[in-house]
Amino acid sequence: MKAAAVLDYRELARRRLPRFLFDYIDGGSYAEVTLRRNVSDLEHIPLRQRVLRDVSVIDLSTTWFGQKLNMPVALAPIGLAGLTARRGEVQAARAAEAAGIPFCLSTVSACPLPEVAKGVTKPFWFQLYMIRDRAFMVDLLFQAKATGCSALVFTVDMPVPGSRYRDMRSGLAGAPGPMGAIRRFGQALVRPDWAWDVGLLGRPHVLGNVAPVLQGNTGLEDFFAWMRANFDPTVTWKDLEWVRANWTGPLIMKGILDPDDARLVADLGADGLIVSNHGGRQLDGAISSTRALPPIADAVGDRLTVLSDGGIRSGLDVVRMLALGAKGVLLGRAWAYALAGGGQAGVAHMLRLIEAEMRVAMALTGVTSVTEIDRSLLAAI
């Protein structure tokens, strides 16, 4: 199967990954209402088609936080994504670097900060949660600085993990003792390509950044137990002042859906925010990123850089998000599908598809630069 779109890579990922990994990447919380809204609300945004304009030269370049980018796109942080291909985060970071866009490494990645840093030649972003063990957070911030990370993405919408039925049904979570491992082993056996490339050749499978605090207990059950114990439901805006004080580079708050919260982010002195509902993986029934974005852009777009994620499956979707008020987007599942379906080459190809689709969408809406994309592109219905 030759991939012609992001959804083709989703199918390739479904065929290649064990069920527990595919469902982890693909799924959302509860009945996955918000996950579906992210996609459907975005695809129903109508654009004005304009004609007889010179669109022979189209410029996708932009600048975020002082960094020149080839297009207004970044690869979002995804936990466990490195298990979808051998040393997967390194492969994805290389593809992002070649495309001239940022890659953001998750706190709960398979590959640790130093390994990713050795695999690329330019700085990348790092994502961090507020967790109970503040000393461990300080250590991660120190590592991020030492490896030259150029921005910190701080996730604020996860005081507790969401309830994800697919993970419980697949055996990834909620099956204590050996039963979960047995179920996952059986699922891996029917995916021999993955079992060989990742299961055997991709060792070690420890979650690199959190491995030191797991103290050798690096099974998936140990990881999920650590997550449940260490995410901090007591966190308030005062705690985020501590983060701002301990990180001197660009600070981007991820997980904002409400304009009042966006104003507090700006008051905190953050450099940017990401309109996000965690890909529909936290509060099911929450507003889609598409609907949340315009009022947030209106509230704080002149004070900080407003980015967005959620439901983006094409370059056309990127243009829609820009028209709604974002300065750029983060791709999540899109790169995880491509990594699973084709490794580094798959991610690189997916990004070329996004770029080509953006160029077509811009040409047909009559704009030649991303700086021209605004709400004037939206069609009234």
- Which residues participate in catalysis according to the annotation? 278
Our CA dihedral for 67, 71, 75, 76, rounded to 10 degrees, sits at: 80
Our CA dihedral for 255, 259, 272, 82, rounded to 10 degrees, sits at: 10
- According to DSSP, residue 287 is labeled P
DSSP letters spanning 41-98: HHHT--B----S---SS-B--EEETTEEESSSEEEPP-TTGGGSSTTHHHHHHHHHHH
Retrieve residue 106's tokens.
Answer: 């998750």
Retrieve residue 375's tokens.
Answer: 């709400």
Q: Phi/psi of residue 361, each to 5°?
A: -60, -40
CB 82 within 8 A of CB 339: no
Residue 254, beta-bridge partner list: 155, 274
67 class by beta-carbon count within 10 Å (0-12 exposed, 13-18 middle, 19+ buried): middle
